[in-house]
Amino acid sequence: EAEVAQSPRYKITEKSQAVAFWCDPISGHATLYWYRQILGQGPELLVQFQDESVVDDSQLPKDRFSAERLKGVDSTLKIQPAELGDSAMYLCASSLGLAAGETQYFGPGTRLLVL
C-alpha cells in the first residue's frame, strides 16, 4: 500500500539555525498538507497545496516559515530561524483532492527539537 514519505524522521537543531523537512505524497494525490502537532495536542494545519499552488497558508508564520511544492509533487517546509517554540512533530498528509470527505493520509512525521 502506498504511503506518504517524510524525511528526516528526527531533527535536533539550535535556535536561530535553519531546518528543512521533505515530504513525498502518495502518487496521484493532488492535495498536500503540512501540519504541526505539539505534544499532547491535535495536528494544526500550517499550509495546504493543490498541485503546485498554495490553497491556504493563513496559519503559517510567514516571517520564519516557508513551504513550496514546485512541481506539484513533493514538498519542502523550511524554518529560518528556528525558535525554541518550534519544537514539535511536523506531519505531512496528502489526499486525492479538495472535495469533502477526501481521506487525508499522513506521513510518519518529522520530530523537531530546538535547543
What are the residues facing 76 on neighbouring strands? 22, 68
Cα distance between residue 49 and residue 105, in whole Å: 14
Q: Is 103 in the site for another protein (CB under 8 A)?
A: yes
**81 or 104, CB closer to another protein?**
104
- Alpha carbon separation from 34 to 8, 31, 90 (Å, rounded): 15, 10, 7
Is the distance from CB of 2 to CB of 102 less than 8 angstroms? no
CB of 90 to another protein, least distance (A): 12
CB of 67 to another protein, least distance (A): 16
By CB under 8 A, the residues from 45 to 74 that bind another protein are 45, 48, 55-56
Site for another protein, rule CB under 8 A: 4, 31, 33, 40-45, 48, 55-56, 91, 95, 97-109
